[in-house]
């Protein structure tokens, strides 16, 4: 038995280092209805087309089919179909029905029966019908018609013409531009992305009026057919990176993409690691800043969170706010964030380690006070810590769903009351309450939610390690975490750049935030093509001039 399992181990490919085989391709994969429609042509007869469409769309009571007579003089029967709610009925009424009925003429289409119909000519003629809509396509298959309707466009079917027109009439109700809910700053823009992809790409465009900004569209999801836009600066981003991203997105085979998180989970490098390999943000200014550094943005319809690839560890504590204030303040605040990150991860474990294993490290007076505080507690400190931490997590999770104004209040009051009551009842020691409070607050200091979760999670194994081996256990687990971080690569970029592999230039922006005048090169780990950022051509304010003016009062300023 042992021999067999040993043999298995030896033969295993993981040990012998072979690459993973490509997963088998399911031939009998479920083919979506929509795909099957690709080959179906639009029948010339209007009635036939309509029947076919109604067939496909089954019981869709919100599908509006309006038959009308197209053309002013010799009108043909036509029908416009669209989905109520997705299409703007004002547009369909004004620009399709009205224009179609009163402003177009069908002379060019006098082909009717008989003879070969020059399809190209036909399509050309169709385009020349005077329908004043900015996006107009000629559809040749039923799939395009159905797809158009489902996306919010309108399709116009004309009797006797084996083609249809699809026109852009999208107009659904959407949320207005509001403040970002998860990433607020003190100073900086207050707009955040919304759920419509076009609004989001526009917000990015507004901030980056560079002709090199590319917006590549694709769709993901068999049933949801969600629009995705991949944005990057063509002359800055590494083409290999862009290629990778697009390839991975194309490889996603899923029913529906409800949130960018789905995409994130499919294209990220290391699924098992608690650390996020791809950033996400609600803020356009953060997205633009990342584009400028050579990263790739993935905007997905239906969610305000856009993805930023690749991601590195620095995302945990960098916030766009750092750059809007002056550099000293930015640096200090960043340091505070780093300290609070450390606190959030280590504080409970340090408490356990010190009080149970190394009390000699605590100043004598504190030891006696701690012993006094703990004298009534029936649990060992690890259980006490776990109890309080888990309670805190429950409170936190619950407070997300508490309604409106009561929410934060209950959160705070709950924590205080629970903590105080627990101390009075003698279940926990007062020091524990302080530690838990500090830990929780510390974990909020990280500007990136998904990154902060990683640390929150790691707190618990850390506590276990501390309870087993004290300070040695904590160090051991830290070493494991550091090694793990070193193995992570996000789209080919080592996760811990620019700390290792060490890159002094990019380090101007890790722990400290160097003055903007110093950051004239883009961070190298992303291998941007165009490295120069802020040029040396920016002019230093002539400070001499200022002070001279101050002292000389009314004297005429020197001609410069």
Partner 1 sequence: MPRKDQNNPSPPRAADRGGDKGTKGDASNIAQTSEGSVISERQSASMIASTMIGVGVITLPRVAVSSSNQTGWIGIVVGALVAMGLTWIITRLGIRFRGQSIALYAAELMAPTRRLLWLGKLLALPFLLMLLVYWGWASALVARMFGEMVSTTMLPTTPVEVIILTMLVAGFYLTMYAVEVLARVNEIMLPLIVIPILIIAVSSFQSGRLENLFPIFDMDWKMFFMSSTIMTASLLGYEVMLLFSAHAKSSPKLVKSNVFSISISGFLYVLIAIAGISVFGYEELKLLAWPTLELVKTTEVPGLVLERMESAFLAVWVTAVFTTLGNYYYATALLLKQILHLKSHRLISLLLLPAMYWISLRPNNLQQLFQTQTRIGWLGMAGALVLPLFFGLLGKLRGKTPLESSTAKDASKGEGADG
Partner 2 sequence: MRKISNALVVLLTASLMITGCWDRREIEERTSVLAIGLDVVEDKPELLSVSVQIPVPLKISNSGGGAGGGDGAEAITVMEAQGRTVLEAIQVLQNRLNQKIFFGQTRVLAFGEKLARRGLRTITDPFRRDPEIRRLLWPIVVKGKASELLRSKPSLEQIPSVYLMSMFDNGTKLGTIPDMNLGNFFVDLSTTGREPYLNYLEINGHELIWSGVALLRGDRMVGRLTPEETWQLLRIDDEKDGGDLIFSFEGDDDRLITLSTELIKSRKAFTYLQDRVKVHYDVHMEGNLLEKTFGQNLFDARDIHLIESGANQFLEENAKQMIKKLQQYNTDAMGIGTELRAFHPKIWKKIEWASAFAEAEITVSFHFELRNTGNEIE
Which residues from 68-127 bind partner 1, rule CB under 8 A? none
Containing 70, the helix (H) or strand (E) segment is strand 63-70
Phi, psi of 97 (to 5 degrees): -65, -55
Residue 119: HSE in the Cβ half-sphere, 13 Å Cα cutoff = 8
In whole angstroms, how close is the CB of 382 to partner 2 at the nearest point?
8
Q: Binding-site residue total for partner 1 (CB under 8 A)? A: 82
405-424 residues in contact with partner 2 (CB under 8 A) are 423-424
| Residue 370 near partner 2 by CB under 8 A | yes
- Provide the H-helix boundaries in 81-222: 89-91, 119-128, 142-151, 197-207
| Residue 267 near partner 1 by CB under 8 A | yes
8 A C-beta contact, residue 145 and residue 134: no
8 A C-beta contact, residue 320 and residue 286: yes
Phi, psi of 371 (to 5 degrees): -60, -40
Only segment of 130-138, 179-187, 513-521, 527-535 that touches partner 1 (CB under 8 A):
130-138
Residue 112: HSE in the Cβ half-sphere, 13 Å Cα cutoff = 6
Q: Which of 125, 144, 183, 264 binds partner 1 (CB under 8 A)?
A: 144
Q: Which of 45, 65, 208, 225 binds partner 1 (CB under 8 A)?
A: 225
Q: Which residues of 254-267 are buried (b: 16+ CB within 10 A; e: fewer)?
A: beebebbbbbbebb
In whole angstroms, how close is the CB of 365 to partner 2 at the nearest point?
7
| Residue 492 near partner 2 by CB under 8 A | no
**Collapsed DSSP state (helix, strand, coil) of residue 460:** helix
| Residue 389 near partner 1 by CB under 8 A | no
Q: Which of 1, 2, 173, 483 binds partner 1 (CB under 8 A)?
A: 483
Q: Give which of 342, 321, 323 is closest to 183, Cα–Cα.
A: 321
| Residue 349 near partner 2 by CB under 8 A | no
The contact mask relative to partner 1 for 348-387 (x = CB under 8 A, - = no) is ---------xx-xxxxx-----------------------
Order of all β-strands in the sheet with 164-167: 63-70, 76-83, 154-158, 164-167, 136-139
Q: Which of 248, 396, 521, 533 binds partner 1 (CB under 8 A)?
A: 248
Measured CA to CA in angstroms, residue 441 lies from 38, 93, 333 at distances of 55, 55, 15
Q: Binding-site residue total for partner 2 (CB under 8 A)? A: 39
Q: Which of partner 1, partner 2, none sits in contact with 373, Cβ below 5 to 8 A by type?
A: partner 2
Report the helix count and the strand count for the chain, using DSSP H and E: 20, 12
Residues 6 or more apart in contact with residue 136 via CB below 8 angstroms: 127, 165, 166, 167, 168
Q: Which of partner 2, partner 1, none sits in contact with 73, Cβ below 5 to 8 A by type?
A: none
Q: Which of partner 1, partner 2, none sits in contact with 479, Cβ below 5 to 8 A by type?
A: partner 1
Query: Measured from the CB atom, is 364 or 554 closer to partner 2?
Result: 364
Can you say whether the dihedral through the CA atoms of 181, 182, 185, 189 is positive or negative? negative
Q: Which of 375, 537, 556, 560 binds partner 2 (CB under 8 A)?
A: 375
Q: Which of partner 2, partner 1, none sits in contact with 25, Cβ below 5 to 8 A by type?
A: partner 1
CA pair distance 479, 168, nearest whole angstrom:
57
In whole angstroms, how close is the CB of 22 to partner 1 at the nearest point?
3
Phi-psi region of 402 (alpha: psi -120 to 50; beta: other; left: phi over 0): beta
| Residue 369 near partner 2 by CB under 8 A | yes
The contact mask relative to partner 1 for 25-64 (x = CB under 8 A, - = no) is x---x-x--xx--x--------------------------
The neighbour count for residue 531, using CB atoms within 10 Å, is 14
| Residue 19 near partner 1 by CB under 8 A | yes
14-53 residues in contact with partner 2 (CB under 8 A) are 14-15
453-482 residues in contact with partner 2 (CB under 8 A) are 464, 467-470
Residues at the interface with partner 2 (CB under 8 A): 5, 8-9, 11-15, 355-360, 364-365, 367-377, 380-382, 423-424, 426, 430, 464, 467-470
């Amino acid at each position: 038995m042992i021999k067999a399992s040993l043999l298995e181990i030896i033969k295993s490919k993981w040990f012998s280092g072979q690459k993973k085989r490509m997963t088998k391709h399911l031939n009998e994969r479920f083919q979506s209805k929509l795909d099957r429609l690709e080959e179906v042509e639009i029948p010339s007869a209007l009635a036939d087309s309509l029947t076919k469409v109604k067939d496909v769309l089954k019981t869709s009571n919100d599908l509006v089919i309006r038959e009308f007579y197209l053309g002013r003089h010799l009108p043909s029967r036509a029908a416009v179909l669209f989905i109520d709610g997705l299409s703007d009925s004002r547009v369909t009424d004004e620009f399709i029905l009205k224009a179609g009925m009163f402003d177009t003429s069908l002379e060019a289409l006098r082909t009717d029966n008989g003879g070969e119909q020059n399809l190209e000519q036909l399509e050309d003629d169709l385009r020349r019908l005077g329908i004043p809509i900015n996006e107009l396509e000629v559809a040749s298959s039923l799939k395009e018609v159905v797809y158009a309707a489902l996306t919010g466009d309108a399709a116009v079917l004309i009797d006797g013409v084996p083609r249809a027109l699809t026109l852009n009439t999208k107009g659904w109700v959407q949320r207005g531009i509001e403040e970002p809910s998860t990433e607020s700053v003190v100073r900086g823009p207050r707009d955040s992305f919304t759920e419509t992809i076009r609004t989001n790409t526009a917000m990015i465009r507004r901030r980056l009026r560079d002709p090199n900004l590319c917006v590549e569209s694709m769709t993901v999801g068999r049933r949801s057919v969600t629009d995705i836009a991949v944005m990057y600066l063509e002359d800055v981003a590494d083409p290999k990176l862009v290629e990778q991203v697009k390839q991975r997105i194309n490889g996603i085979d899923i029913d529906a993409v409800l949130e960018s998180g789905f995409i994130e989970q499919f294209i990220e490098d290391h699924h098992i690691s608690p650390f996020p390999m791809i950033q996400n943000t609600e803020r356009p200014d953060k997205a633009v800043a990342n584009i400028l550094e050579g990263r790739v943005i993935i905007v997905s319809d239906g969610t305000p969170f856009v993805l930023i690839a690749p991601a590195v560890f620095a995302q945990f504590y960098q916030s766009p706010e750092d750059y809007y204030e002056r550099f000293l303040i930015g640096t200090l605040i960043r340091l505070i964030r780093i300290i609070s990150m450390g606190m959030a991860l280590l504080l409970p474990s340090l408490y356990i380690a010190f009080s149970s294993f190394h009390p000699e490290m605590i100043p004598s007076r504190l030891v006696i006070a701690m012993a006094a505080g703990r004298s009534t507690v029936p649990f060992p400190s690890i259980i006490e810590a776990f109890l309080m931490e888990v309670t805190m997590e429950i409170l936190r999770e619950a407070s997300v769903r508490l309604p409106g104004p009561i929410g934060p209040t209950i959160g705070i009051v709950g924590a205080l009351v629970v903590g105080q009551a627990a101390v009075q009842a003698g279940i926990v020691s007062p020091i524990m309450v302080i530690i838990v409070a500090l830990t929780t607050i510390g974990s909020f200091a990280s500007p990136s939610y998904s990154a902060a979760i990683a640390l929150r999670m790691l707190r618990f194994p850390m506590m276990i390690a501390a309870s087993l081996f004290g300070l040695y256990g904590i160090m051991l687990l830290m070493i494991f975490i550091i090694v793990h971080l070193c193995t992570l690569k996000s789209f080919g970029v080592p996760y811990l750049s620019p700390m290792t592999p060490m890159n002094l230039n990019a380090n101007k922006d890790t722990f400290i935030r160097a003055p903007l005048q110093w950051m004239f090169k883009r961070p190298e780990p992303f291998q941007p093509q165009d490295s120069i950022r802020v040029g040396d051509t920016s002019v230093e304010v002539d400070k001499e001039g200022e002070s001279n003016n101050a002292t000389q009062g009314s004297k005429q300023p020197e001609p410069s």
